[in-house]
Amino acid sequence: MKDVYQDVIAGARAMTPILLGVVPFAMVTGVAAVSVGLTPVEAVGMSAIVYAGAAQLAVLQLMGSGGIWIVMVLTAWIINLRFTMYSASLAPYLQKLSLRWKGLYAYILSDQAFAVSISRFNDDEPAHPQWFYFGAASSIRATWQVSTVAGVILSAQIPKSWGLDFAVPLTFMVLMFPALKDRPSVIAALVGGGVAVLAKGLPYNLGLVLAALMGIAAGLIAENIVNKKRTGS
């Protein structure tokens, strides 16, 4: 039992530096939800059910610009496809859990929880990886929800001059740069980012969808080329 407690604490502690960027990120999401016309209950409910900051902000932007629902669904789906890869990477460490626990762990999965957990598992797997993950994921989940509520409550009082939007790209940059360990990942990031800038003017925020697809495609092509060179085929 002591080992379990230590792993939970270790997971939460490993997440602590990232929480500093999560707080304003979640507050921005809460403010954005209210600004497009959602009620406080709807804004908090969206955060609790969806729990995907990038997808939430993209959908809220579409709502504010009068986007159609099918584009909103498609945008959120494409942005959140990365969680499928996260789950596949974490599966070997969590496969012995019951379906109930797997469901809970899938619900609290986030970019930050995945990055911290998989990095720890690859370097020095803890005695109870599921509890390390739980400590990391639950700490950011609680922080996100509380900060979203704070953003909703304070939405009318927070001056736009504060520029809290910086937290969104900053949080993802913190996660992205350590992941750029090989040529395919760098190419995927450059192509996705470049397309996002060039296609920014497309209607219904389709530039984001196009950038995600192009970035994934570029990364896969680059990885196939690298693999062929390694095998000599």
Q: What pLDDT, in 10s, does the model give residues 70-113?
A: 888 888 888 888 898 889 899 999 988 999 999 999 999 998 99
| 168 has a pLDDT exceeding 60 | no
Report which of 188, 17, 29 is spatially closest to residue 116, judged by C-alpha positions.
Answer: 17
For residue 166, name the pLDDT band (cuts at 50, 70, 90). Answer: low
| 122 has a pLDDT exceeding 90 | no
Which residues contact residue 157 at a Cβ distance below 8 angstroms, ignoring those fewer than 6 apart? none
pLDDT of residue 208: 73
Give pLDDT tens digits for 192-222: 889 988 988 887 667 877 887 888 889 889 8
Range in 32-41, 146-155, 173-182 the model is least confident about: 173-182
What's the mean pLDDT when you consider all of the chain? 84
Q: Where are the domains of the chain?
A: 2-158, 180-233
Strand, coil or helix: 139: helix
